[in-house]
Structure 1
Amino acid sequence: MTRNINYDLIRLLGLLIIMVAHSSPPGWIFQLRNFGTPLLVIGSGLTYSLIFASRKLEIKAFYKKRLPKLIFPAWLFLTFFFLALYATSVVSDFEFPFSNEKVIESFLFMGGIGFVWVFKIYIILSLITPLAVYLDDKVNNNLKYLSSLLLLYIGYEIAVYLITPLLTGVYSTVFNSIIFIAIPYTILFLYAFNLPSLKKISIYFISISSLFIFIVLAYLKYTEAGYFVHTQLYKYPPTLYYLSYAFFAVNVIYLILRNIKISNDLTNSIVIWLSSNSLWIYLWHIFAFYIWKFASIGEIDSIVPVFVGKIFFMITFGIVFTHLQNTLLNRLPIENTTWKNKLLPLLTNKK
């Protein structure tokens, strides 16, 4: 398989845009970048479509490799993160900021500290990858494929409208945190598998249609509320107002990035390293977020210089600590086969 650096860029950009949201950006920046999760989903779909275009997917082997690669690093980081904060609270006047419930929810990727939900998205995408590969292989008619996805999405919107008012307690959690998250992002993931086969004019049409829907909905909500309504309010669960803007943005970004040619070897290697290590960079940026927060640096939110400083600090912290982690672990004089072949690949980008 020939690696597609453009897909690396799309996945990396999706994760970075999500990290920007954690940097207290001004409202207009927060809205402009409010397509990070769909872009991450599209990037993942494009990557898997390329990988399994020339390789047979062995479902059991895929799950056995992919799911631990997602779950184990996140759990390990969370364990270190909570223990570090607890130890700090014991030896200082610092109060441990999380309840037992928050800690448990974090390990379940169901809320908690509020950052690890992205792993839930990755797990969902991994679970449906065999289905996506099968459909991509069996359905060769683009119109039929996209029409089926559109009908599925319409059914999802109807279900959200009818079912959401009836949900309470644990049912509300299951539907709003799992089912009504899995369905729209599954549709986006399936769309990504079909995206490389679409003609440019078709993608233009899809982008313009999505933008038109968003503008109409934005106008209707503006006339009702008297001010511009942010799409973030319609992200949990994702519905048409949020998704129409995001779908427009991700298609435009795909059109732009797919034509980029990176011939410089150094630039290529940097992009590949960042993309390959993006999940650990993301995890370490959580630590940076709380360092900034507890140092009281970020008391003033939504000010551009503060926002720029915060995102620079978090991304730099994530990159530096990921690099240090990779360097230290790869230099450990451990010859154990289990460590080298199973554990080390989970903790670094080493294959």
Structure 2
Amino acid sequence: MAGNWEQEKREVTFVQPVINRIEKTLDKERDIRFDILKTIGLVCIIIAHVRPENNILFDIRLFDVPLMVITSGTLYYYSANNKKISFLNYLQKRLPRLIVPVWLFLTFFFISAYLIFLLLVKPYPFSYSRIIETFLLLKGIGYVWIIRVFILVAIFANPLLNLYKLCKSENRFLALLFFIYLGYERLFIEIKHLNLPSTIITQLIDDYLFYLIPYGCLFGLGIVLPKLRFKNILFISGFFLGIFLLLATFYYRSLGHFISIQDFKYPARIYFVSYGIFMSLFAFSGVDLICCKYNLSNNNHVLLRGIVFVSSSSLWIYLWHIFFVYYWQTLVVYLPKFASHFMIAFSVITLGAIAVTYLQKEIISRIITKTRCGQNHSNLLSMLLK
């Protein structure tokens, strides 16, 4: 969902990745570690939306969005580090590749919902204001707030990379990000204490500024991640684990019970962010170790090809999972009782989203390669399909 940054890195057309996928070969230029990490993040997000009966599993997977943002930062670094990229040209290419597929999907979602609820003889559940909020990537039907996060970090990706180059040191850049984040925490507390009335300004601060700064810092961490030594990763991971444990202990002693990390997610606060950084770096270290031990970069196993497909198609898989989640939860009352079991729901939703995405790409790739209309509009189709 963070985007196929490697495709931008190699500056190839849409047709070539399609050919690679049809031939069932892995691109040796890919860093398979981040395909695995993106897949882990996406699976964790789907777990959250399916809502497992086990609250422990729900809390453990709460590093999903930080992991996706950190991974996005790394992939952006790979694609842009040795290039002179115009800020405006980058936005002209990147933002439509995020926004247009989402709007296309939402149009289909709301129209199909009208038809489905008409067949069920039920009132249409979405008001005009809720539909507009969804297209603006605000609250709406939920689920789409993460797209707003990726749009915000995409806007500031180039300035962050330039800031990193200006610092001329990973340590100085990370220290600067840490102090920026501390400033955000202080600003958040001060504004909340003021209890300002709801205005356009306060809404912009709540919905944009308070999402940009923490996730921008995570994106910045991703930019330097490939250049960090293991001991640095271990130090950063341990440092944020310490912060998380101190806060968990403080909240437990103050309130007498464990406070869920989820309560500090909207917008992201230090309790949530520290856990997200620790778990993301732990996941990265584990994946890195496995990839080195089993030489996965040169392995053409079918499972790895599947992971690459999920990673490179993460945006559309995420969008289609919204469709399956919503209607599974809506129609589960008409299904046998066992259908409400978490593993059944998770399997149907995940595999359904992947299958529909695969069929969609197969159909459009055939249109591109076998029809004149598809060839004439290949760039547009590429943008829509991601």
What is the TM-score when the length of structure 2 is the normalising length? 0.85
Q: 2: distance between equivalents of 1:10 and 1:89?
A: 37
1:150 to 143, 153, 178: 178
Q: Name 1:242's counterpart in structure 2.
A: 272
2:326 to 290, 296, 303: 290
- 1:74 matched to 2:78? The reply is no
In the TM superposition, what are the counterparts of 1:181-260 in structure 2 within 5 Å? 181-259=211-289, 260=291
Residues 168 and 309 (structure 1), Cα distance of their counterparts in 2 relative to 1, 3 Å cut: farther
**1:113-124 residue pairs with structure 2 within 5 A?**
113-124=141-152
Q: State the alpha-carbon separation in 1 of the partners of residues 322 and 171 from structure 2.
A: 42
Does 2:34 correspond to 1:7? yes
The answer to whether the Cα contact below 8 Å between 2:101 and 2:385 also exists between their aligned partners in 1 is no
From 313, 316, 336, give the equivalent of 2:373. Answer: 336
Post-superposition offset of 1:150: 1.3
- Contact 1:8 / 1:275 at 8 angstroms: preserved in 2? yes
CA apart distance, 1:141? 1.8
* Contact map agreement 2:164 2:170 (CA 8 A) in 1: no
Displacement of 1:327: 1.6
Deviation at 1:329? 1.8
Corresponding position: 1:324 with 2:352? no
Distance 2:334 2:43 in 1: 19
Distance 1:309 1:158, change over 3 A: same
Runs of 5+ in structure 2 lacking a partner? 1-9, 11-28
1:120-141 CA distance string (max 9 Å, x none): 1111121111112212333222
Q: Is the 8 A contact 1:298 1:306 kept in 2?
A: no
Larger relative CO (CA 8 A, sep 6+): 1 or 2?
2
How far did residue 287 of structure 1 move? 0.8
Letter in 2 for 1:57: I
Q: Which residue of 1 aligns with 2:126?
A: 98
Select between 32-41 and 290-299 the one with higher mean Cα deviation.
290-299
Q: CA RMSD in A?
A: 2.3
2:3 alignment counterpart: none
1:178 maps to which of 208, 229, 254: 208
- Kindly state the Cα deviation for residue 154 of structure 1 after the two structures are TM-superposed: 0.9
User: Aligned equivalents of 1:33 and 1:241: distance in 2?
Assistant: 14
Tell me, in whole angstroms, the C-alpha distance in 2 between the residues paired with 1:117 and 1:135. Answer: 26
The separation in 2 between residues aligned to 1:131 and 1:297, in whole angstroms, is 49
Matched-pair contact (CA < 8 Å) for 1:146–1:191: yes
Once the two structures are superposed, residues 141-161 of structure 1 have per-residue CA deviations (whole angstroms, 9 ceiling, x without a partner) of 222212111111111110001
Q: 1:347 to 1:5 in 2, by over 3 A?
A: same
Distance 1:154 1:323, change over 3 A: same
Range 10-19 or range 40-49, more displaced: 10-19
Within the candidate set 45, 58, 70, 1:18 is matched to 45
What TM-score does the superposition give when structure 1 sets the normalisation length? 0.93
Identify the residue that residue 382 of structure 2 maps to in structure 1.
345
Give SS of 1:258's match: helix
Q: What letter matches 1:219 in structure 2?
A: T
Larger mean CA deviation between 33-42 and 140-149 belongs to 140-149
What runs of 5+ residues in structure 1 fail to find an aligned partner?
A: none
Cα contact 1:288–1:318 (8 A) shared by 2: yes
Are residues 13 and 272 of structure 1, via their aligned partners in 2, closer, same or farther at CA, if it must alter by over 3 Å?
Answer: same
* Cα deviation digits, residues 296-326 of structure 1 (max 9, x gap): 259999x998222211111111001101111
**Contact (CA 8 Å) 1:300, 1:306: kept in 2 or not?**
no
Residue 336 of structure 1 aligns to a residue whose secondary structure is helix
Q: Aligned letter for 1:189?
A: F
Q: Report what 1:129 is aligned to.
A: 157
Equivalent residue, structure 2, for 1:169: 198
| 1:42 corresponds to | 70
Distance in structure 1 (CA, Å) of the matches to 2:362 and 2:328: 25
Counterpart-to-counterpart distance in 1, 2:321 and 2:71: 21
